[in-house]
Amino acid sequence: MSGQINAFEMAQKQFDGVAKQLNLDPGIAEVLRWPMREYSFRIPVRMDDGSLKVFQGFRVQHNDARGPNKGGIRFHPAETMDTVRALATWMTWKCAVADIPLGGGKGGIIVDPSTLTVNEKEELCRGWVRSMWKNIGPRNDVPAPDVGTTPQMMGWMMDEYSRLVGQYTPGVFTGKPLGGGGSLGRTEATGYGVIYTVREALKHLKMDSTKSVAAIEGFGNVAQYAAIGFVEMLGGKVACVSCYDRHAKKSFTYSHKNGVDPRFLLTIVDEYGTIDQAKAEKAGYKVEDGDAWITFEADVLIPAAIEGHVNADTIKKMSSRVKVVAEGANGPTTPEADEFFKANKIFNIPDFLCNAGGVTTSYFESVQNDMNFYWPKDEVLQKLDQKMTSAFHGVLEMSEKEGVYMRDAAYMVAISRVVKAMELRGWLSGNA
């Protein structure tokens, strides 16, 4: 992410524009512009070499008017409080636009997880919980995996919380491993959710999905299943994917003359989304600079890496063929890029609608944990498809009714629902 782009400032700018369009009371707007609670703490960990290392941890709870805060925990070397604030804010809107009874939260630790041993990761996970356990729980804040974290790490965190409270509490974390309270379908959920919204966008634009081409940024969990879904569900072609190479410390774009085979790439990618370059080249893949993904002749762009990568600089390289931008990542598009999309009539599926499949299935996981009854995978994905399709058309209807950009329409839907919940709970009466 460019050093000039502050994710939280971007989130506030997006919100302010829509608040003005909604004629939102300034006091209510001020409540929603900022998180309700923020936690910053230090986590000491005894490393395998015997040294003691201290890590910086965060948790932000933006708004819980509609239900417990919900949002992932990132392990990333460039994590900041402002990034976490932005992501927590977007989670509030994401849960509201998907119409699930949750609020927005986000957490993180400043660390490159690839530099840690398994034991060090476990100790860091348990340390994060020891710092936060009094302020999280199934009824107030439910974390989940995000960039740099895994189902196994959620399992350790859930176990530590259960130890501290003295009872097995699977619903305190979602995204857990199968057999440890996790839900079938959760692994695929965010990427497939992206594809469900892309499918509906292509229908709306009267575009044939079987003749459509996608260019995808990223090859982590979201991008992997978005690529699989685009090929296998929609019958389209994936021109390229990109990934951050943790060995070279830079990004590369991978393409193939016959189109990317995501199932093959899954066999040569590590848990951090780094594709084995030598094996890819041996299989006929062309390797280019990491920014090249946005230059490909494609109908659909799917930025599914990190925030701010679709910006004033990168859009200059974008093909005129692009008709749809589906935001698999959180906050990938800057306000300058938004203006470009509006001017060029590019259909945008905003992040907190497009990638809501993960949090929706996390909600399903919480429900299953609460009931101690688990659904088959087909049922989970069917319920997800219904939720995502309904959310997409709710935003599209608002966009057409008000004559506004899809992102603004999504904000209108989400903000209205959160404000309504605050009103119903008496938060705006002055007596709460």
Distance (Å, whole) CA 211 – CA 209: 5
Distance (Å, whole) CA 309 – CA 61: 25
The contacts of residue 35 (CB under 8 Å, 6+ apart) are 60, 61, 62, 63, 85, 88, 89
pLDDT tens, 301-333? 999 987 788 999 999 999 999 999 999 998 899
Tally of domains within the chain: 2
Mean pLDDT of 293-297: 96
> Is residue 147, in this structure, part of any structural domain at all?
yes
> Is residue 97, in this structure, part of any structural domain at all?
yes
Same domain, 265 and 154: no
pLDDT tens, 146-180? 888 999 999 999 999 999 999 999 999 999 999 99
Catalytic annotation, residues: 106
Distance (Å, whole) CA 189 – CA 185: 6
Please determine, for residue 2, whether its predicted confidence score (pLDDT) is greater than 60: no
* Helices 7-21/81-97 angle, 10° precision: 40
Output the average pLDDT for the chain.
Answer: 94
Please determine, for residue 1, whether its predicted confidence score (pLDDT) is greater than 60: no
Which residue intervals of 98-185 are DSSP H helices?
118-132, 151-165
Which residue intervals of 305-354 are DSSP H helices?
335-343, 351-354
> Is residue 50, in this structure, part of any structural domain at all?
yes
CA angle 364, 123, 307 (to 5 degrees): 55
Domain boundary among 349, 375, 392: 349
Inter-CA distances, 346 with 40, 323, 417, Å: 39, 5, 27
The CATH number given to whatever domain includes residue 130 is 3.40.50.10860
Residue-wise over 143-169: b if at least 16 C-beta within 10 A, else e?
bbbbbbbbbbbbbbbbbbbbeeeeeeb
Q: Model's pTM, two decimal places?
A: 0.90
pLDDT-derived band at 430, boundaries 50, 70, 90: low
Indicate the burial class of 123 (C-beta count within 10 angstroms; 0-12, 13-18, 19 or more): buried
Please determine, for residue 188, whether its predicted confidence score (pLDDT) is greater than 80: yes
The region that residue 209 occupies, defined by phi over 0 for left and psi between -120 and 50 for alpha, beta otherwise, is: alpha
Residue with tokens 């709970």: 425
Same domain, 168 and 240: no
Same domain, 193 and 338: yes
Mean pLDDT of 257-269: 96
> Is residue 394, in this structure, part of any structural domain at all?
no
Same domain, 199 and 105: no
Residues of the chain with pLDDT > 70, as a percent, come to 98
Same domain, 152 and 193: no
Q: C-alpha 419: how far from its chain's center? A: 23
Same domain, 211 and 324: yes
Which residue intervals of 319-405 are DSSP H helices?
335-343, 351-354, 357-371, 377-402
Please determine, for residue 82, whether its predicted confidence score (pLDDT) is greater than 90: yes
Indicate the burial class of 23 (C-beta count within 10 angstroms; 0-12, 13-18, 19 or more): exposed
Please determine, for residue 290, whether its predicted confidence score (pLDDT) is greater than 60: yes
Same domain, 53 and 79: yes
The CATH number given to whatever domain includes residue 236 is 3.40.50.720
Domain boundary among 334, 349, 364: 349
Distance (Å, whole) CA 259 – CA 231: 10
Distance (Å, whole) CA 404 – CA 92: 21
Distance (Å, whole) CA 125 – CA 155: 10
Mean pLDDT of 232-246: 95
Same domain, 318 and 238: yes
Please determine, for residue 432, whether its predicted confidence score (pLDDT) is greater than 80: no
Mean pLDDT of 232-248: 94
Same domain, 207 and 339: yes
Range of the domain at 98: 37-176
pLDDT tens, 106-140? 999 999 998 999 999 999 999 999 999 999 999 99
> Is residue 126, in this structure, part of any structural domain at all?
yes
Q: In the 8-state DSSP scheme, what is residue 251?
A: E
> Is residue 425, in this structure, part of any structural domain at all?
no
Distance (Å, whole) CA 348 – CA 328: 11
Q: C-alpha 42: how far from its chain's center? A: 25
> Is residue 360, in this structure, part of any structural domain at all?
no
Mean pLDDT of 361-368: 96
Domain boundary among 148, 176, 204: 176
Check residue 273 and give its pLDDT: 81
> Is residue 274, in this structure, part of any structural domain at all?
yes
* Helices 81-97/357-371 angle, 10° precision: 70
Same domain, 145 and 284: no
Check residue 147 and give its pLDDT: 83
Same domain, 169 and 220: no
Identify which of 58, 161, 66, 60 has the alpha carbon closest to the alpha carbon of residue 422: 66
Mean pLDDT of 55-70: 98
Please determine, for residue 340, whether its predicted confidence score (pLDDT) is greater than 60: yes
Same domain, 297 and 326: yes
Distance (Å, whole) CA 121 – CA 75: 10
Indicate the burial class of 204 (C-beta count within 10 angstroms; 0-12, 13-18, 19 or more): middle
